[in-house]
Structures are given as structure tokens and as C-alpha cells.
Structure 1
């Protein structure tokens, strides 16, 4: 705070208003208004589909893992994440005859994602593995 030093008589009244109490009251009111405002929640209620446990996504003949340019991993056309992919690969190992696994990454897919998919496949111990769609790389590179 600064004070104005001026020459005045001691008998004259002070003409300046002290703003500190006004500012303090305004800040307290502002905080009270902020606290009392209800929290805005934007909720959209939707009914998500329930997965059918009887539906088997593992084909006993051959299964196809695709990775598109956006990095989406699909198992026989159904989008999956790496954990679901590992579960499906374990289900293929439980079959009496192991089905063939075909891997088809998009030429523009990120290498990091393809590498993670290949690591999951290697950890699962799949014996019949093949890459399909390799002819598409001839036109890209």
C-alpha cells in the first residue's frame, strides 16, 4: 500500500476512502458464490450391449488379426485390445487342433502397435502363424 504525503492542515477531514475492507468483503462474497454453485455434471445415459458369453470368436480353422492404419486391432473383424487378444490366443491353444493364425498389419500402421501385437502372439506360444497381404507392401515402399 502506498500513502500519499501531502501538505494539509490537521483540521481537515481525510477525503480518501479505504478500499481494503471493500475488497475483503468482495473476495469473501466471491468465494461464497463459487462454493454454493452446484457442480455441473453432463451425463449421457446409454444402454451398452452386454457381451454374450456363449458367443465364441475363435474359429477352429483359421483366425485373422488385422491392424489398421489408425492402430485398431481386430480379431476376425471384431475390435479387441491386447488383453482380449491374449485371451483369444489362449482359447485357440485349448482347441484339439490349433487353428492357423493370420496376421495382416496395414502398411501405414505404427510399428509400435504391430510390435506389441507380435509380442502378445509370441508370449502365447502360437505354432501356426502366417502373414497375409504382403503384396500390399510392394506398392508402398
Structure 2
């Protein structure tokens, strides 16, 4: 790499970039980081006690509510009318922890019927409603 020539004007500005100082600085920084990283990771070595932790939260059973194409409502595969549905929802809402309502609706059922069941669950006090669908084939 030529820095200049002996011939010609000495007043010309050198237009080439000298990369040597940049490489030197980068190598020094790399060495500094390699040396300092193990020093930063300091930890106190202690022998912790060993214990097992078992969750005490009982998992509530899910409630399956199905609506067929004609609009009939089934509470855990048992057909119920609107009054029985609302009383069952009120009883389920009082349980601790609250069960989750899994709603299955037929593809042909009117949305109005699904909305009525969802509104009954909301008014009854159930906070979790899940929709069950079938995956596409």
C-alpha cells in the first residue's frame, strides 16, 4: 500500500484511509472485553436446601355446554331448558375455584341462541368462557 510517491507535488492530500490504527484499537477493545467478562460474573457459592413444592390448587372441572342445530342446550350432555341452565350457571359460579364454561355450538345454530347462552353465563357470574371448535381437515 503506497502512501505517496517521491515524484510530483508534496502539497497533495493523501486520499487513502489508514486502517492500521482502527484495527489496533479494535484488538485492544477485544482483549479488554475478554479479560473483564469473567470478572463481572461473580456469584456467592452457597448450598441451598432442597425441598419439593406441590401445588395445592385443585383444578376445577370444566363445564361443557353444547347447542345443537335446532337450538337445544345441553349441560354436560344432558338437555336442559333456559331456567335450569341459569340455575346450573349460578351454582357453578359459587364454586371456588370457578370452573370454566366450554361452549360448543353447531355450525347451523343461530348466533342469537349462542349469545343468549353467553349472556346467561355472564349474568350468572361465570368469568371464563371458552369456545370449542373443530380444526379444518
TM range (shorter): 0.5 to 0.7
Q: Which residue of 2 aligns with 1:127?
A: 127
CA-atom RMSD in angstroms: 1.6
Q: Matched residues in 2 for 1:72 and 1:123: separation?
A: 20
In the TM superposition, what whole-angstrom CA distance separates every residue of 1:37-85 from its partner, at most 9, and x where no partner exists?
Answer: xxxxxxxxxxxxxxxxxxxxxxx51111100001110000000111111
Q: Which residue of 2 aligns with 1:77?
A: 77
Q: Matched residues in 2 for 1:66 and 1:126: separation?
A: 16
Q: Which structure 1 residue ranges, 5 or more long, are not aligned? A: 1-59
Q: Which residue of 1 aligns with 2:103?
A: 103
Instruction: Report the TM-score when normalising by structure 1.
Output: 0.51
* Number of residue pairs matched by the alignment: 78
In the TM superposition, what whole-angstrom CA distance separates every residue of 1:15-57 from its partner, at most 9, and x where no partner exists?
Answer: xxxxxxxxxxxxxxxxxxxxxxxxxxxxxxxxxxxxxxxxxxx
Instruction: Report the TM-score when normalising by structure 2.
Output: 0.52
Q: Which residue of 2 aligns with 1:39?
A: none
Q: Which residue of 2 aligns with 1:86?
A: 86
* CA apart distance, 1:134: 5.0
Residue 112 (str. 1) matches residue 112 (str. 2): yes
Question: Following superposition, which runs of at least 4 residues in structure 1 exceed 2 angstroms of deviation?
Answer: none
